[in-house]
Amino acid sequence: MKPKWLKLAFLFAVAFAAVALVACGGDDEEEPGATATTPSEQATAAETATETVKQYDEGASDTEIKIGGCYPYSGPAAAYGTIGKSVEAYFKMVNEQGGVNGRQINFITRDDQYSPDKAVQCARELVEQEKVLFMFNTLGTPSNSAIWDYLNQKGIPHLFVSTGATKWGEDPESHPWTMGWQPPYQTESIVYSEWLLQNKPDAKIAVLYQNDDYGKDHLEGLKKGLGDKYDELVVAEATYATSDASVNPQVAQLKESGADTFFIFATPKFATQALIAAAQIGWKPLIFLNSVSQSIPAVIEPVIEQAGPEAVSNMYSTLYIKDPGDPQWADDPAIKEYLEFMEKYYPDGNPLDGFNIYGYAVAQTLVEGVLKPAGDNLTRANIMEKARSIKDLRVDVLLPGILINTGPDDYYPIEAEQLAKFDPAQKKWVLEGEVIDVSGKLQQ
């Protein structure tokens, strides 16, 4: 019986040691900077010191700036993952050219599979373990919704998120650390309505929208854009759910209303269905196709195949970035530079993929608009302060005439877009008219 007692004693000793270890390990993991203050409060404190003095928060030093990002490299939305790689390639180029004010950018990304719970894991790992200075360009509305409370309470800048939802800039007071970048859905709708009010003020409008936040965001923009005339002009609305098999009944119902203008706020699959359905029932309205579904191979080519080129002959969408495949920009220095960049720093990527030029543009905005002006004062408060005070920044792969502006109450960097009409003969979007700037209209 003796060995049994020995074993038991040994077990107790081990267990005791373990508990002691846990207890000791507990004290050294205090989170610095966990108190949440608004960036402006911190900024005023920082401004009292002169900007020439080097100031750093976690993640910044004399030699390095650590930035974090979460992208869906795997899973159902893996096609977006290339944005992360293009951003990374841009930083690589910046680093080879000497970095930002002598500091190298260290861009750490994680795969979040486009799943909110993984995004939370990603953000927490980057903030708490990798100790990044700030989070940049995290992709997806659900993913960003999952982490923005966390980042705002911790006071970590959450810059230029890669989603079109309007909510990122809607309420800078409750979420002062989060900022979008691309024109939000509402801005796009306002651009359409501005154009419509000028060019076809007596339109009879039918709207098809997805019955969730994305579709309702678009509709809200249309309401803001048309203002008082909304009730007069919009004669029919129809919704669909992503679980619907087809939108044919909705399109038929919209046609019955006698509308001559058709807004499609739908994701590619349903936009394709709607365009085909309209052509098949002999409805030939003026069509506004939201930019989410403007992809030519994914949406428009299938429509032409099944319903002929007439189905897309009177159709508009919006653009804000130059299309690198468009011959009109063949001699454009910005596009040339972009194509050289792709060849040298991201040779595996497809330079004609709109996601890659998107990544290039957003990374350039960060470097030129935020990091360079921040100088040696690389505190989180100052990063946010600089992001909030971008004045007329020109990112040269954006369409001519689009300038980036932000302010203490303006958390929407890009608020201008240009209409483009689809040309079935050349199979491309042709820019139409001027850039329509709708700055400030969102806050109404």
Rounded CA-CA distance 411/425 in Å is 40
Q: Which of residues 82-101 bind another protein (CB under 8 A)?
A: 84-85
Does residue 153 bind another protein (CB under 8 A)? Answer: yes
Residue 115 as a binder of another protein (CB under 8 A): the answer is: yes
Neighbouring CB atoms inside 10 A of 223's CB total 16
Least distance from another protein to the Cβ atom of residue 25, Å: 4
Which of 150, 170, 197, 229 touches another protein (CB under 8 A)?
A: 150
Tell me 130's DSSP state: S
Task: Give the H/E segment covering residue 434.
Answer: strand 428-437
131 contacts another protein (rule: CB under 8 A): no
> What is the DSSP secondary structure assignment for residue 23, as one 8-state letter?
H
| Amino acid (1-letter code) at residue 278 | A
What interhelical angle do 380-387 and 39-47 show, nearest 10? 110
- Exactly one of 1, 2, 6, 24 binds another protein (CB under 8 A); which one? 24
* By the rule CB under 8 A, 114 interacts with another protein: yes
What one-character-per-residue DSSP string does 38-51 give?
-HHHHHHHHHTS-T
Q: Exactly one of 121, 248, 267, 314 binds another protein (CB under 8 A); which one?
A: 121
Which of positions 252-311 make contact with another protein (CB under 8 A)? Answer: none
Out of 60, 100, 133, 146, point to the residue binding another protein (CB under 8 A): 146
Beta strands in 278-396, from DSSP E residues, in sequence order:
286-289, 315-319, 377-378
Does residue 109 bind another protein (CB under 8 A)?
Answer: yes
* Shortest Cβ 305–another protein spacing (Å): 29
Regarding 35 and contact with another protein (CB under 8 A), the answer is: no
Select from 90-98, 139-147, 199-207, 224-232 the region that touches another protein (CB under 8 A): 139-147
Nearer of residues 145 and 313 to another protein, judged by Cβ: 145
Binding flag, residue 412, another protein (CB under 8 A): no
Q: How many residues make up the chain in this entry? A: 444
Shortest separation between residue 432's beta carbon and another protein, angstroms: 33
- Number of residues interacting with another protein: please give it, by CB under 8 A: 50
Q: How far is the CB of 165 from another protein (least distance, A)?
A: 9
Using CB under 8 A, which of the segments 240-248, 252-260, 274-282, 389-397 binds another protein? Answer: 240-248
Which one among 58, 170, 213, 423 touches another protein, defined by CB under 8 A?
213
Among 61, 59, 111, 69, which residue's Cα sits nearest to residue 366?
A: 69
> Which DSSP string do the residues of 244-299 spell out, in sequence order?
-S--HHHHHHHHHTT-SEEEEE--HHHHHHHHHHHHHTT---EEEE-GGG--IIII
Rounded Cα distance, 88 and 70, in Å:
12
- Write the DSSP string, 151-217: HHHHT--EEEEB---THHHH-TTT-TTEEE-SPPHHHHHHHHHHHHHHH-TT--EEEEEESSHHHHH
Among 1, 129, 173, 297, binds another protein (CB under 8 A): 129
Q: Which residues bind another protein (CB under 8 A)?
A: 4, 7, 11, 14-15, 18-19, 21-22, 24-26, 29, 73-76, 78, 81, 84-85, 109-111, 113-118, 120-121, 124-125, 128-129, 141-142, 145-146, 149-150, 153, 212-214, 241-243, 348
